[in-house]
Amino acid sequence: MDDKLKELADLMFPNVKHDIAYYENKYPKRNLKEGARVTRFAPSPTGFVHMGSLLSAFEDYKAAKDTDGVFYLRIEDTDQKRSVENGIVGILNDLKNFDIIPDEGMISETESIGNYGPYIQSERMEIYHTFCKDLVLRGLAYPCFCSSSELDETREIQEINKERIGYYGSFAKCRSLTIEEAIKKIKNKEEFVVRLKSPGNFSNKIVLHDEVRGDIEFPENDLDVVLIKSTDKLPTYHFAHLVDDHLMRTTHVMRGEEWIASFPIHDQLFEIFNFEKPKYAHLGLVMKIDEEGTRRKLSKRKDKEASVEYYHKEGIPKEAVKLYLLTIANSNFEEWLDSNPDKSIDEFKFDFKKISASGSLFDVQKLLNISKNYLSRQKASTIYNNLLTWTKEFDLEFANILENNKDYAIKIFNIERDTLKPRKDYLSYSDIKNHVWYMFDKYFKNVVYDFQKINQKEDLKIILETYLTNYLDLSDKEVWFNKIKEMCDKLGYASNIKEYKKNPELFKGNVSDIATVLRVALTSKTNTPDLYEIMILLGNLKIKERFTKCLESIK
Ligand code: GLU
């Protein structure tokens, strides 16, 4: 080996103790069954998961689980600006809230599980340096001493001359430094970054395969990209990706489409090291249509629905969020769900070909619709338990009421539930109170009665009093309803809607107007679930009480 080159490499990487072979040995090929996928979620420790990242984490998780593979969590903290205190725990919590539990990787701020760690990049310095030193020794990487003002100058010249921007060819000044010059500068303590000496030619075309988008043609990379940064000696994304995804034996790199442009750089790095290349899937962005009707990226800054915390606060069940994410990201999911309504989503097989390349359109209304359908299919006791958990965090008063009235609450949630076409009115756990508050005296105060057609005190009084004196027997729905009809006939309202429609002028109203009076007097609302069931749950004592309260309130 060239002694001078060795001297340079040692000076550049004084702390490297091992060689690549050592790490290849330490992190052997994984012993998994044929076709098993190894995927990863690789966020910066920002403390939370954005909806778009959750979607990609979920797809990563599914892609691995479908094949009995491995899904791991790697923390990419090489960009210190994006790190926040306790940033890993926040991510773990968000993932856990959606049942995405990695098989390997970080499990707290400092601990990890798995044999392919460290799973946090700042602890992998020696590994990156080992790999980079190898490139220097092979003449494929070099120190670059250009200052930022020199780089700016080059860029300006390129802009003026309408040339491609970047550090390449004759613009790559430090490429032509001799080894001796470089050694001298390092000995003089000049700051440097390490750059790839790209063997590529921009006029060559290469075709790279993307699992989602198919074959994509690119010019070959000729940029001498930075591999190791100067100040902290941490690797850039490009280099860390190569080293980590190789040594962690990732089979499928699923990442945001913003990385497509760097795909040729990554392919070149894998070529240079002669490593087996992972498969790549560049996922489309999560978009929304904003108030002005423009399609744009869901933004963590502008859109509250971009943070996964929002769903937790709103009480949208995680299952509904997952169903929704699978729906927007996989073109075949909705159809699968329609034909397999009772199967667990774990049984849905993930397929790269069915992922939308153009991005997924995020629409909270559609999510709420899925949530509503999901909640309508749950047992009343499940609703009770989950609502209790949610209220304990967000509405303590309601939590106490629920806890003290467990059977009653479950019966309320059960109205029109155990049927072939269950009632769909709860959008989320936070929405349930909007639909049931009037069943609890604590909330049934200062109510405004929404009377409709029959709204005169005299008429209301007669109806409510007639009901109270004659019709309190709730033992059978048919008997009860016949009695209501009897009351209609007696008070001059039509018990038969058809007859009423033929000659409306003969009646003061019809049976449904009477039912509305009873409903409004009991609940203050015109639209509620089944009146008979509500009456049974309230019981005769409360019915009397509420009718009296109602009559008192009408002037
Ligand atoms: N840390 C990178 C990001 O957040 C990860 C990209 C990747 O998955 O490779 O964009």
Expressed in angstroms and rounded, the spacing between residue 247 Cα and the centre of ligand 1 is: 16
Could you say which of 376, 393, 415 is where a domain stops?
376
Question: Is residue 498 situated within a structural domain?
Answer: yes
Say if residue 384 is in the same domain as residue 372.
no
- Structural tokens at position 537: 């749950």
Question: Is residue 43 situated within a structural domain?
Answer: no
Say if residue 142 is in the same domain as residue 208.
yes
Could you say which of 413, 439, 465 is where a domain stops?
439
d(CA 537, CA 225): 72
Expressed in angstroms and rounded, the spacing between residue 527 Cα and the centre of ligand 1 is: 49
Say if residue 420 is in the same domain as residue 462.
no
Question: Is residue 430 situated within a structural domain?
Answer: yes
Does the beta carbon of 546 sit less than 6 angstroms from any atom of ligand 1? no
DSSP state of 445: S
**Cβ-contact 483, 470 below 8 angstroms:** yes
Say if residue 342 is in the same domain as residue 372.
yes
pLDDT average, residue stretch 528-539: 96
Q: What is the pLDDT of residue 231?
A: 75
Does the beta carbon of 43 sit less than 6 angstroms from any atom of ligand 1? yes
Does the beta carbon of 76 sit less than 6 angstroms from any atom of ligand 1? yes
Question: Is residue 190 situated within a structural domain?
Answer: yes
pLDDT average, residue stretch 315-320: 94
d(CA 376, CA 362): 22
Question: Is residue 171 situated within a structural domain?
Answer: yes
Mean pLDDT of the chain: 93
Say if residue 361 is in the same domain as residue 402.
no
Answer whether residue 471 shows pLDDT above 80: no
Could you say which of 341, 376, 411 is where a domain stops?
376
Is 547 buried (19+), middle (13-18) or exposed (0-12) by CB count in 10 A? buried
Q: What is the CATH number of the domain that holds 298?
A: 1.10.1160.10
How many other β-carbons are positioned within 10 Å of the β-carbon of residue 268? Answer: 22
CA 483 to chain centre: 53
Say if residue 292 is in the same domain as residue 196.
no
Per residue in 193-244, pLDDT (tens digit) is 999 999 999 999 999 999 999 999 999 999 999 999 987 899 999 999 999 9
pLDDT average, residue stretch 311-326: 93
Q: Treating both helix axes as pointing N-terminal to C-terminal, what angle do 457-470 and 531-553 enclose, rounded to 10 degrees?
A: 130
Say if residue 230 is in the same domain as residue 129.
yes
Least confident residue range of 30-39, 142-151, 348-357: 348-357
Least confident residue range of 156-165, 192-201, 360-369: 360-369
Q: What is the pLDDT of residue 111?
A: 94
Band of pLDDT at residue 555, cut at 50, 70 and 90:
low
d(CA 40, CA 57): 8
Cis peptide leading into 102, omega within 30 of 0? Answer: no
Question: Is residue 327 situated within a structural domain?
Answer: yes
Of the CA atoms within 13 Å of residue 297, those in its CB half-sphere come to 11
Residue nearest to atom 4 of ligand 1 (CA): 43
Per residue in 267-312, pLDDT (tens digit) is 999 999 999 999 999 998 888 888 888 889 888 888 888 888 899 9
Q: What is the CATH number of the domain that holds 533?
A: 1.10.10.350
Say if residue 136 is in the same domain as residue 205.
yes
Expressed in angstroms and rounded, the spacing between residue 42 Cα and the centre of ligand 1 is: 5
pLDDT average, residue stretch 404-413: 98
Prediction pTM value:
0.85
Residue nearest to atom 9 of ligand 1 (CA): 255
Does the beta carbon of 124 sit less than 6 angstroms from any atom of ligand 1? no
Say if residue 516 is in the same domain as residue 431.
no
Say if residue 135 is in the same domain as residue 230.
yes
Question: Is residue 403 situated within a structural domain?
Answer: yes
Instruction: Please tell me which residue, 203 or 506, carries the higher pLDDT value.
Output: 203
Domain that holds residue 504: 457-554
Domain count, the chain: 4
Say if residue 162 is in the same domain as residue 205.
yes
Q: What is the CATH number of the domain that holds 168?
A: 3.90.800.10
**Cβ-contact 25, 225 below 8 angstroms:** no
Say if residue 354 is in the same domain as residue 386.
no
3-state helix, strand, coil in the chain (%, to 5): 50, 10, 35
Tokens 């790549």 identify what position?
280
Does the beta carbon of 266 sit less than 6 angstroms from any atom of ligand 1? no
Q: What is the pLDDT of residue 1?
A: 59
d(CA 51, CA 299): 9
pLDDT average, residue stretch 15-25: 96
Residue nearest to atom 8 of ligand 1 (CA): 255
Question: Is residue 48 situated within a structural domain?
Answer: no
Q: Which of 314, 313, 335, 317 is CA-nearest to residue 326? A: 335
